[in-house]
Amino acid sequence: MEMNQETVKALLDAFDRSDWREMVLTIGGDRLHVSRDPLPAGAPAPPPAAPA
């Protein structure tokens, strides 16, 4: 599987239709992290997850 525009759009559409609060997907060297909960002002973004 590759992280192309079509895949990203399908994943974002699925997230939008779901009741999930957050979604993190890693494919190869690509990482997609979306959340419905905003970070507090000035907070750093969460670090990438350690490789499995």
CB 31, CB 25: distance < 8 Å: yes
In eight-state DSSP terms, residue 50 is: P
* pLDDT for the residue 35: 92
Residue that is written with structure tokens 């192309």 in the block: 4
Tell me if 50 is assigned to some domain: no
CB 32, CB 14: distance < 8 Å: no
Tell me if 47 is assigned to some domain: no
CA–CA separation, 41 vs 10, rounded Å?
Answer: 29
CA atoms within 13 A on the CB side of 4: 3
Tell me if 31 is assigned to some domain: yes
Give the predicted TM-score (pTM) of the model: 0.66
Percentage of residues of the chain with pLDDT beyond 70:
87
> Can you give the residue range of the structural domain that contains 16?
5-35
Tell me if 48 is assigned to some domain: no
Which pLDDT band, with edges at 50, 70 and 90, does 23 fall under? very high
Tell me if 28 is assigned to some domain: yes
Q: How many domains does the chain have?
A: 1
Tell me if 18 is assigned to some domain: yes
Tell me if 40 is assigned to some domain: no
